[in-house]
Amino acid sequence: MLDIKFLRTNPDIVKQNIKNKFQENKLPLVDEVIELDAASRAAQQEADNLRSERNRLSKQIGALYGQGKKEEAEAAKATVNAQAQRLAELEKLEEEYAEKINKIMMVIPNIIDPSVPIGKDDSENVELQKFGEPVTPDFEIPYHTDIMERLNGIDLDAARKVAGNGFYYLTGNIARLHSAVLSYARDFMIDRGFTYCIPPYMIRSSVVTGVMSFAEMEAMMYKIEGEDLFLIGTSEHSMIGRFIDSIVPEEKLPYTLTSYSPCFRKEKGAHGIEERGVYRIHQFEKQEMIVVCKPEESPMWFDKLWQNTVDLFRSMDIPVRTLECCSGDLADLKVKSVDIEAWSPRQQKYFEVGSCSNLGDAQARRLKIRVNGKNGKYLAHTLNNTVVAPPRMLIAFLENNLREDGSIAIPEPLRPYMGGMTEIR
């Protein structure tokens, strides 16, 4: 969400940013909000003048009564009463203007970083760097659910009967592997100085609208019927919400947090939800990392966050690459984003396993997360990144650690979390 003062003085920059995001339908909103803002400030000025005049007359009325000038006092009193009606009208107008302006400002996209490549959609994202050598074995790699089923590790049919498509039962060593990966990721981030958190799995609408755009909210969030609560789509939502309407002492920054949660997503409009797989599902678990910091430090933290995920995957010998998201692929609140993709030997290509985002002060502005600094208060910057999200991570893990005889090698870092196991058969 942009600062109204910035939009007021830089309408051309805001419009060009909208064009860069290929959202031309939003261009008229800039002029509309400028007109509303001018009308709002005019109403506010008139109201302030009336309040000042009321205070002046109120003092005068007392003095006039004291001097025995009853008629003059009564006339001044009548003027105050007449102005009170107009003041009430103006105050109502101010509220209406503020509501309309806020509604539009929530839709206008954040200003993207100058380094972001301009492109329409994810097909125009730009590869940055590869880490590890992609390996393709000389034997056929089965589909990931086939690998799991051969190891008695998944039951999709039962899940479909119980909850429908987009759900699964994990069992045995595959379920244990799932938990081991999350536990390893937790300790990996703790070792890097992040504080471990388990947040609420439901949040209020005031937090939802603070952390994401309306389009994302509609496509992702499950609403709890009859209550002002939503199931979280990622722990970032409740972790950033933790700071809502707060003033943080500057010396406490940065907050570096890593959180575990189940995640619930409608995946509205997603393709492939019906297919026999666990790539895109309605429920999964994730280890996340979140940073709340000073504005000047957010670029540095952005690079640190995506590097953490790269290092985690490389510690398990999984080749990955980073992909810069182009302007058209960025959600409206994001300033800059990098996807982390893992190598799929079966598909002979990389696929997304995590996403790192710098949101600038957009979430902080919506949620009123302020920092009390030496030179006054200012808005914090917020960032988030996926540490690891099974079962997508499991797909990469199983394909890259599959042996020709069908067994799965367990990399050394995971063995303590698997009871010392070196392989799954």
Mean pLDDT for the chain overall = 92
What pLDDT does 12 receive?
Answer: 97
Structure tokens at 356: 């790192």
Query: Looking at the predicted structure, is the pLDDT value of residue 155 above 50?
Result: yes
Query: Looking at the predicted structure, is the pLDDT value of residue 274 above 50?
Result: no
**112 located within any domain:** no
C-alpha distance from residue 407 to each of 147, 177, 193, 260, 404 (Å): 9, 13, 35, 29, 7
Residues 287 and 184: their CA atoms lie apart, in Å, by 10
Q: What is the pLDDT of residues 207-241, one digit of tens each?
A: 999 998 877 888 889 999 999 999 999 999 999 99
Q: State the DSSP code for 398.
A: H
Backbone torsion region of residue 407, taken as left when φ is above 0, otherwise alpha when ψ lies between -120 and 50, otherwise beta: beta
Structure tokens at 35: 């007109």
Q: What is the pLDDT of residues 50-85, one digit of tens each?
A: 888 777 777 777 676 667 777 777 777 777 777 788
Same domain? For 208 and 243 the reply is yes
What pLDDT does 70 receive?
Answer: 74
Which ranges of 272-423 does DSSP label H, i.e. alpha helix? 298-315, 362-367, 392-401
C-alpha distance from residue 254 to each of 234, 293, 296, 357, 383 (Å): 21, 4, 11, 16, 11
Same domain? For 396 and 362 the reply is yes
Same domain? For 219 and 315 the reply is yes
Same domain? For 241 and 337 the reply is yes
Same domain? For 40 and 177 the reply is no
**116 located within any domain:** no
Same domain? For 262 and 203 the reply is yes
Q: Which domain holds residue 313?
A: 122-424
What pLDDT does 215 receive?
Answer: 77
By residue count, the chain amounts to 425
- A 10 A CB-CB count for 158 gives 13
Q: What is the pLDDT of residues 338-373, one digit of tens each?
A: 999 999 999 999 999 999 999 999 999 999 999 999
**373 located within any domain:** yes
Q: State the DSSP code for 109.
A: P
Mean per-residue pLDDT, 17-30:
97
Residues 95 and 341: their CA atoms lie apart, in Å, by 46
Query: Looking at the predicted structure, is the pLDDT value of residue 191 above 80?
Result: yes
**117 located within any domain:** no
Share above pLDDT 90 across residues of the chain, in percent, rounded to a whole number: 81
Q: Give 342's contacts (C-beta < 8 A, 6+ positions apart).
A: 313, 318, 319, 320, 350, 351, 353, 392, 393, 396, 400
User: Domain boundary at 52, 71, 105, which?
Assistant: 105
Task: Give the CATH number for residue 56.
Answer: 1.10.287.40
Structure tokens at 86: 């107009």
Mean per-residue pLDDT, 369-397:
95
**56 located within any domain:** yes
Same domain? For 268 and 384 the reply is yes
Residues 220 and 200: their CA atoms lie apart, in Å, by 17
Total number of domains constituting the chain: 2
Please list, residue by residue across 344-364, b when 16 or more beta carbons sit within 10 angstroms of its beta carbon and e when fewer do: bbbeeebeebbbbbbbbbbbb
Same domain? For 184 and 75 the reply is no
Q: What is the pLDDT of residues 76-87, one digit of tens each?
A: 777 777 778 888
What pLDDT does 143 receive?
Answer: 94
**200 located within any domain:** yes
Q: What is the pTM of this model?
A: 0.89
**115 located within any domain:** no
- A 10 A CB-CB count for 122 gives 13
Mean per-residue pLDDT, 175-180:
97
Same domain? For 209 and 74 the reply is no
Predicted confidence band of residue 98 (pLDDT cuts 50, 70, 90): very high
User: Domain boundary at 105, 132, 147, which?
Assistant: 105
Query: Closest by alpha carbon to 144, among 347, 330, 283?
Result: 347
Query: Looking at the predicted structure, is the pLDDT value of residue 273 above 50?
Result: no
Same domain? For 130 and 101 the reply is no
Strand partners, 402: 408
* C-alpha dihedral sign at 160, 165, 167, 169: positive
* C-alpha dihedral sign at 48, 50, 53, 54: negative
Backbone phi, psi, residue 183, to 5°: -65, -40
Query: Looking at the predicted structure, is the pLDDT value of residue 389 above 90?
Result: yes
Strand partners, 293: 381
Q: What is the pLDDT of residues 393-408, one digit of tens each?
A: 999 999 999 999 999 9
Are 393 and 383 in contact by the 8 Å Cβ rule? The answer is: no
**110 located within any domain:** no
Same domain? For 94 and 178 the reply is no
What pLDDT does 295 receive?
Answer: 97
User: Domain boundary at 105, 131, 163, which?
Assistant: 105
Same domain? For 315 and 341 the reply is yes
The three-state secondary structure class of 74 is helix
Which ranges of 242-339 does DSSP label H, i.e. alpha helix? 298-315
